[in-house]
Amino acid sequence: MNKSCFSYQENYNKLNLHDLRVLGARIGVKAPSTLKKEQLIKEIIAVERGEKSPHFSNRGRRRKDMLSFSPTVSDNDVKEFNRKKKDLKNKVNKAIKILTEIYEILQDLI
């Protein structure tokens, strides 16, 4: 895990389990009420970072603290997300290429 992930985890560790479960439900963690605190924090971070896709179920009655929350994602939101994801992937690939070239130059100098 990188440093920013640890800072997220430190902040989430300060919250109580109920608040984490509400947050998890709101951002789309699957079955947040069945997870232990540490696993719930890991799932929240994964959804926030885009490592896991959000999960929203239409089954059963909505929780009282979720009644005013209705997640909607438009086609434009999805397109914008995919565009940003593609741009970021291209930037990462360019950075990896540059770092590889620098490494090869340094190897030649040694």
* pLDDT tens for the chain, residues 1 to 110: 444 455 567 788 888 898 898 888 888 898 898 999 999 999 999 998 889 888 877 776 666 655 554 456 677 777 888 899 999 999 999 999 999 999 999 998 88
Q: 54 and 87 share a domain?
A: no
Instruction: Give the CA distances from residue 81 to residues 70, 91, 100, in Å, rounded to whole numbers and listed in that order.
Output: 19, 15, 28
Total domains present in the chain: 2
Range of the domain at 99: 73-110
Do both 51 and 7 map to the same domain?
Answer: yes
How would you classify residue 50: left for phi > 0, otherwise alpha for psi between -120 and 50, otherwise beta? Answer: left
- Cα gap 93→100, rounded to integer Å: 10
pLDDT more than 70, % of the chain: 79
Neighbours of 66 (CB within 10 A): 14
Q: Give the whole-angstrom CA distance, residue 25 versus residue 65.
A: 10
Examine the domain organization and report whether 28 and 12 are in the same domain.
Answer: yes
Q: Residues 54, 107: one domain?
A: no
Helix (H) or strand (E) holding 65: none
